[in-house]
Amino acid sequence: MQEMHKIIVSIFRIFKLNFQKHLKRIEIQMKKIIFIVLFIASSLYAQIKFDANFESGNLSTVTTTDSVNYELRTIEDVGGRWFYFKITGMKDKLISVKILNSDVKRPFYSYDNYNFQRFTADESPKTNLFQKVFEFNTVYVSYYAPYTYTYLQERLNTWGKSDYVIVDTLGFTDHNLPLQEITITDPLTPHEQKLHVWIHARTHPGETPSSFQFDGIVQKLLSDDDVIDFYRKKTIFHLYPFNNPEGVYFGRSRTNFYGVDQEREWNKEDNATASEVVMLKNRMKEILNENNIEVFLNLHSQVSPYCTFWIHTPGSTSDYFYRREYQFSNLNISDNPYFYKEDLSESNLQPYFPEGWLWANHGDKVLALTYETPYDRYSNDVWVTNENLYELGYRTVYSIGEYLELSHPKHLILDNKDAALSGNWKSGEVGLNFFSDDYAEISNGFESENASFNSGELESGIYDVYAWWPEFEDNSFNTRFTISKGFESTIIEKTQRANGGQWNFLSEIKLNNAENISINVNANSSGKVIADAFRIIYRGSVSSMQEINLPTSFILYQNYPNPFNPSTTIRVELKKSQNVMLRVFNTLGQTIAVLADDFLAEGGHEFIFNASQHRNLSSGIYYYQLISADHSETKGMALVK
């Protein structure tokens, strides 16, 4: 019996020992599994890091409760709009980020910190929010695409190679950053009779769209073009890319390194003024002591979804200055798919702004305006891109040339002061929308009474002819324009009761040989006829007419039926898949409907415009416009009720 007990005890001890060893193995395996799970979790989330310790970076605090949803704050000065930061540990991971003290709509991101793109509407469904699974480990995120000090130096190195450019330094900031000046003119023509233009940007460092517009201005001024070459011979452009280099470098939104808003420093004594403003004022005084500055542009960007010029009221300036501001603004808006008259803003001129300093010291001798571009959308609902900001810069150059009445045979301006008048024509100076100093008018006259404009001899080619007039209720509703070359004439009738203060297309003229284009404006009994100004623009040689007439990326067909009531079909042929917008607008440029604003496939597309779906549309002429990244085209259609 004792032997049996010993055997049982031995068996139990062996079983217990084996069981303990088995439990130990299970414990070891469980620890391995837990370690693997923790390792995977830490790999997925714990290594996500935020950083803004680089040029123009701005980030204050980052918090998260689950390593997926993050809340951020920027470093604020006068507001906290601007942000620019880097996130690492991002590859194939979902992250949702909310910026608590900004107002951004669809911000920008980049994997290489050079090529930036907007988040899509799905990736940024709300203001101040983006969410995305990123493809690479590192991503840079910013309010708008950055335009940094380093990038500016790259551009200056490129621009400085041109014979037309001098890059200079007005002085250095407290942190040893240069306040740089770009002068563009033709060095081989005498400077004594040249006109002077001043353009500056980035007083508020977070307003990077203004730098891309500024970049477009420089691109156009350095282009190989007969008209631009003529502008360089007649004008000296003084250009200041960064008025606030320290604010840009240190990632501020609206102030310099010390928290000073330099835009409001211009009426202070020098010893109480930011050093950058003192340097700019001294340079401006130096120019004004010897010459006048004809045009001063102060480039900014605004959160409002439209471009604008800030027109200074006549009570804070003068009636003359007020009208000239409108003239320059209208020239810039004309032919511009991103800018409409309804976008213009008015305010009383304040003495602490640079325009106020110029007015206080030089009155109406200097046409001074602030030009604002948006960050997200234009008033036509097109999203802001670097490319269309460049285009705004290109158009700014031509509007300056037209305002200064620089007339070249390939961009010809014919004003009424050079017209031959036959009959009882009078000079008019009423309203805000006429060109130059006045216009010619005649009421209830005879057709034999006319105003005749002559281009002088032009080289062979294709030309577009435009007319400018101020609109009044008693103007003629069927003013006749007769455009002649040799023995051939084209007659166009336009109402002058609408579309005032802009270039109105009249006709394309083909010159097979060098010859004159003449334009006659005839009086009639349907109202007051205006003869104000004409613009004739060279589009290319006769042999390239077919190529010039075809859009680069689409064909926009005439609507059918036309006239229509209540609906009509608009057909579009896209030569490639692309983002396009199709809008309908009235004679005042006001958008009535957006029929498409999307990425569309290559091929044919049809859109129906139904006037009955839009209240209070009366009979008359309406327009539809198709806009792509590289082209826009507009056609008219008639609603008849």
Residue 241: phi and psi, rounded to 5, are -70, -40
Q: What is the mean pLDDT of residues 440-457?
A: 93
CA distance 570 to 614: 17
Average pLDDT over residues 37-64: 77
Q: Give the per-residue pLDDT at 43.
A: 44
Mean pLDDT value of segment 229-240: 98
| Beta-carbon contacts of residue 601 (< 8 Å; ≥ 6 apart) | 574, 577
List, in sequence order, every residue forming a beta bridge with 489; answer none if it has no partner: 484
Closest C-alpha among 205, 213, 198 to residue 307: 213
Nearest 5°: the CA angle 128, 133, 137 is: 105
The lowest-confidence range among 19-23, 340-344, 597-601 is 19-23
Give 55's pLDDT tier (boundaries 50, 70, 90): very high
pLDDT above 70 for 306: yes
Q: What percent of the chain has pLDDT over 90?
A: 73
Would you state the pLDDT for residue 471?
95
Q: Is residue 132 within 8 Å of residue 123, measured between CB atoms?
A: yes
What average pLDDT does this structure show over 57-78?
A: 95
Q: Is the pLDDT of residue 287 over 90?
A: yes
For the cut 50, the answer to whether the pLDDT of residue 230 exceeds it is yes
Q: Given a cut of 80, is residue 103 above it in pLDDT? A: yes
Single-letter code of the amino acid located at 593: A
Left (φ > 0), alpha (ψ -120 to 50) or beta: where does 91 sit? beta
Calpha distance 533→434 (Å, rounded): 9
Average pLDDT for residues 60-69, to the nearest whole number? Answer: 95
Nearest 10 degrees: CA dihedral of 68, 74, 75, 81? 170
Residue type, 163: D
Stretch 343-370: mean pLDDT, rounded?
98
228: which DSSP letter? H
Does the structure show a pLDDT above 50 at 460? yes
Answer with the residue of higher pLDDT: 637 or 365: 365
**The token pair that represents 313 in the structure block:** 């009221």
The two structure tokens encoding residue 553 = 């990326």
Q: How confident is the model at residue 18 (pLDDT cuts 50, 70, 90)?
A: low
Q: What is the structure's pLDDT at 29? A: 55
The pLDDT of residue 6 is 54
How confident is the model at residue 309, as a pLDDT? 98
Q: Per-residue pLDDT for 5 more than 90?
A: no
d(CA 403, CA 195) in angstroms, rounded, equals 12
**Mean of pLDDT values over 38-43:** 41
By CB neighbour count within 10 A (0-12 exposed, 13-18 middle, 19+ buried), where does 321 fall?
Answer: buried
Structure tokens that stand for 560 in this block: 């059918």
Q: Quick check: 618 pLDDT over 90?
A: no
Query: In this model, does residue 23 exceed pLDDT 60?
Result: no
Q: What is the DSSP string of 329-380?
A: HHHHHTT-TT--GGG-EEEPPPTTSHHHHHHHHHGGGSEEEEEEEESSB-TT
Helical pair 226-234 and 209-221, crossing angle rounded to 10 deg: 100
Is the bond into 241 cis (omega within 30 degrees of 0)? no
Instruction: Name the pTM for this structure.
Output: 0.81
Q: Which pLDDT score is estimated for 622? A: 83
DSSP states of 283-318: HHHHHHHHS-EEEEEEEEEESSSS-EEEEEPTTTS-
In this prediction, residue 612 carries a pLDDT of 86
Residue 37 pLDDT exceeds 60: no
Following DSSP, what letter does each residue of 309-329 receive, concatenated?
EEEEPTTTS-HHHHHHHHHHH
pLDDT at 350: 97
How many angstroms separate the CA atoms of 431 and 496, rounded? 14
Residue 44 has pLDDT above 50, yes or no: no
What integer is the mean pLDDT of 246-273? 97
Q: Which residues contact 179 (CB under 8 A, 6 or more apart)?
A: 169, 170, 171, 172, 173, 240, 242, 243, 245, 276, 279, 280
pLDDT confidence bin for 587, thresholds 50/70/90: low
Helix, strand, coil content of the chain in percent (nearest 5): 25, 35, 40
Identify the band that residue 22 occupies on the pLDDT scale cut at 50, 70 and 90.
Answer: low
Confidence of residue 34 (pLDDT cuts 50, 70, 90): very low
pLDDT at residue 638 in the model? 81
Confidence of residue 542 (pLDDT cuts 50, 70, 90): confident
Instruction: With a cut of 70, say whether residue 28 has pLDDT above it.
Output: no
Cis peptide before 351 (omega within 30 of 0): no
Res 239 pLDDT > 90: yes
The string over 485-494, giving b where at least 16 C-beta atoms fall within 10 Å of a residue's C-beta and e elsewhere, is beeeeeebeb
Summarised one tens digit per residue, pLDDT across range 195-222 is 999 999 999 999 999 999 999 999 999 9
632 pLDDT band, cuts 50/70/90, is: confident
Token representation of residue 338: 């991103």
Candidate from 35-39, 170-174, 379-383 with smallest mean pLDDT: 35-39
pLDDT reading at 253 higher than 50: yes
